[in-house]
Amino acid sequence: MSAKERSSMEAEHVPKWTLRRTIPSNTAISSELAAELIDAMMQRDWPASDLFRVQLAYEEAVVNAIRHGNRHDVSKTVHVEMACNDDEIWIRITDQGPGFDPNSIPDPRIDELIEIPGGRGVLLISEIMSEITYNEQGNQITMIKRKADASADGIEHE
């Protein structure tokens, strides 16, 4: 692949809207950033159902970062990065906590856990978003939502 072709491909993936912000461990402030993302999605004709879903996934992830990562420590911050184009949303949230092992959280939908509170934030994120990765330390989540992705759409048929 020539440098020109590579450059062209990369150009297609350059997000049309980006946000990069370091915020204190405060859920009121983190929610304000969600409004900016929603505005960007609406300007790019994302369906209403995805606006709700992506916002919920973002809220769950950022609340996890503040609550479980930084443990509401006001001296710690959360780094929020978001990008949105016509077809894809990209969100990365990094906290200053020790990190966690996402595989250590059991599926709360199993019979033994269905009536036990907890674990549903991670579940909602994984059901809503198209792709999720954590860094090795477990203090950073990267989430991607693709437009018209089947995630969260299959429940109608079950």
Cβ proximity to another protein: between 60 and 95 the closer is: 60
Cβ proximity to another protein: between 37 and 83 the closer is: 37
Q: In whole angstroms, how close is the CB of 108 to another protein at the nearest point? A: 7
Rounded to whole angstroms, the Cα distance separating 83 from 5 reads 23
Angle among Cα 29, 143, 155 to the nearest 5 degrees reads 105
Cβ proximity to another protein: between 11 and 28 the closer is: 28
Q: Are 77 and 22 a contacting pair, CB within 8 Å? A: yes
Q: Are 142 and 47 a contacting pair, CB within 8 Å? A: no
Residue found under tokens 């997000």: 15
Contact residues for another protein (CB under 8 A)?
Answer: 26-29, 31-32, 34-35, 38, 48-49, 51-52, 55-56, 59-60, 63, 67, 108-109, 114-118, 120-121, 123-124, 127-128, 152-153, 155-156
Cβ proximity to another protein: between 12 and 158 the closer is: 158
AA letter at 108: P
Q: In whole angstroms, how close is the CB of 90 to another protein at the nearest point? A: 20
Q: In whole angstroms, how close is the CB of 154 to another protein at the nearest point? A: 9
Q: Are 76 and 96 a contacting pair, CB within 8 Å? A: yes
Rounded to whole angstroms, the Cα distance separating 47 from 120 reads 24
Q: In whole angstroms, how close is the CB of 10 to another protein at the nearest point? A: 32
